[in-house]
Amino acid sequence: MAGSLDRRGFLRGLGGVLGCSVAAHPMLTTVTMAGANGGRPLGDHRLVVIILRGAMDGLDVVQPQGDADYAALRPTLLNPQATDLDGFFRLHPAMGDLMPLWNKGQLGFVHATSTPYRDKRSHFVGQDMLEAGTGMDVPLNQVKDGWLNRLLQTQDGLTSETAYSIGQVAMPLLEGPAEVRNWSPETTLLLTPQARLLFDRVYESDPLFHAASQEAMELADAGNGDMEMMAADPSQMAGLKVQDVEQLVDYAAGKLRQDARIAAFSMSGWDTHRGQAGGLSKSLARLQYAILRLQTGLGAQVWGKTVLLAMTEFGRTARENGTAGTDHGTGGVMVMAGGALNGGKIYGDWPGLSEANLYERRDLMPTTDVRAWAAHTIRGLYGIDQSLLENTVFPGLQMGKDPRILL
């Protein structure tokens, strides 16, 4: 990754400075929440965002088997066992346990959608743009925060418990001046009172170490720490196992049942250049597990007020490549779930898969900006003003007509 485009480094490098000048932030606007719950901004609804890192192949997850060109593009990947969704699209079998949610209207998809990122198809720039929430007109190294953090910046009176960035992978989506909690399952810090005093003093002159240690101690106090270190053996093949997902989701559910309203984490394993049938199934099984576990963990009442969005940096090539996989593409799928969702539908205009309809004769043509779906979700959940969403949270976005994706 070119250093000049490394937004994460830039943004975090300035975090301390920006954190002191929230009041002066030019984009900061206060809105009053309609029907806010007990003075709590953001009310009762919950938003969970999962960043699917590595570029999920939307054409394999929600298979357009009704499209006459699909079979020729996907000679080995087309899966006859995929479950029918609406007569045109079929759901990958590794997500089959989600069908009850689909039937209840608590699972939905947006197809042929993408961020504004085009052409170089770099994972790392693509993810930075997805999380920055900006368009191709803004150099990424000038973006100092993620869109979910900018959403928080528009709200008065939030506490540090409102939003949680979960897991060890950095989440630029939630980084920025608004206060956010970070937690990963392996956090462990047990110190005697004397050791704490000494560390306070020793870290005092280094703001980065001071802030990190303070938060670590608070999290340890809250009883989330002291789990055994997981042995990591580089001589063995490891991947993200279900247990890891379980820890992330359980923690998120626990916080969302209380005061947290927003949680975000990452899932990797989507870069299926080779042998996609096997690799994608595993990743989808984990995603499915995460969704079902979250539903259980939240309980019926909170789940009823929740929307989960699982977004990826871009889709993959319409054609299979030479190795039973797919290469980096453009348009793809966003997965949505939750009791507050108006699901059981596949949203978005279908562009078709004939060669002339593909983007650069290669990728699924995006027909919508994925940011618009996120913006309508936020507007539906929290009643946030459209101009704030189009100018501040997603600068330059045109949300378009309300697709009514929430109940």
Residues 163-182 binding other proteins (CB under 8 A) are 168-170, 182
x/- string (CB under 8 A) for other proteins, residues 69-108?
A: ----------------------------------------
The stretch among 35-43, 201-209, 305-313, 395-403 that binds other proteins (CB under 8 A) is 201-209
In terms of CB distance, is 54 or 348 closer to other proteins?
54
Interactions with other proteins, residue window 213-232 (CB under 8 A): 213, 215-216, 219-220, 225, 229-232
d(CA 11, CA 133) in angstroms, rounded, equals 14
Among 18, 31, 191, 277, binds other proteins (CB under 8 A): 191
Of the residues 46, 53, 150, 371, which one makes contact with other proteins according to CB under 8 A: 53
CA angle 266, 139, 146 (to 5 degrees): 35
Segment interacting with other proteins, rule: CB under 8 A, options 9-17, 294-302, 340-348, 368-376: 9-17
Which of 25, 40, 257, 273 lies at the binding interface for other proteins (CB under 8 A)? 273
Cβ distance 227 to 186 under 8 Å?
A: yes
Contact between 2 and other proteins (CB under 8 A)?
Answer: yes
How near is the Cβ of 303 to other proteins at its closest, in Å?
A: 28
Cβ-based nearer residue to other proteins, 194 or 258: 194
**Shorter beta-carbon distance to other proteins: residue 40 or 210:** 210
The closest of 208, 135, 146, 63 to 370, measured between CA atoms, is 135
Nearer to other proteins by C-beta: 44 or 363? 363
Whichever of 209 and 299 has its CB closer to other proteins, that residue is 209
**Of 24 and 231, which has the nearer Cβ to other proteins?**
231
Q: Tell me which residues in 124-143 interact with other proteins (CB under 8 A).
A: 124-125
Question: Which of 121, 144, 293, 379 contacts other proteins by CB under 8 A?
Answer: 121
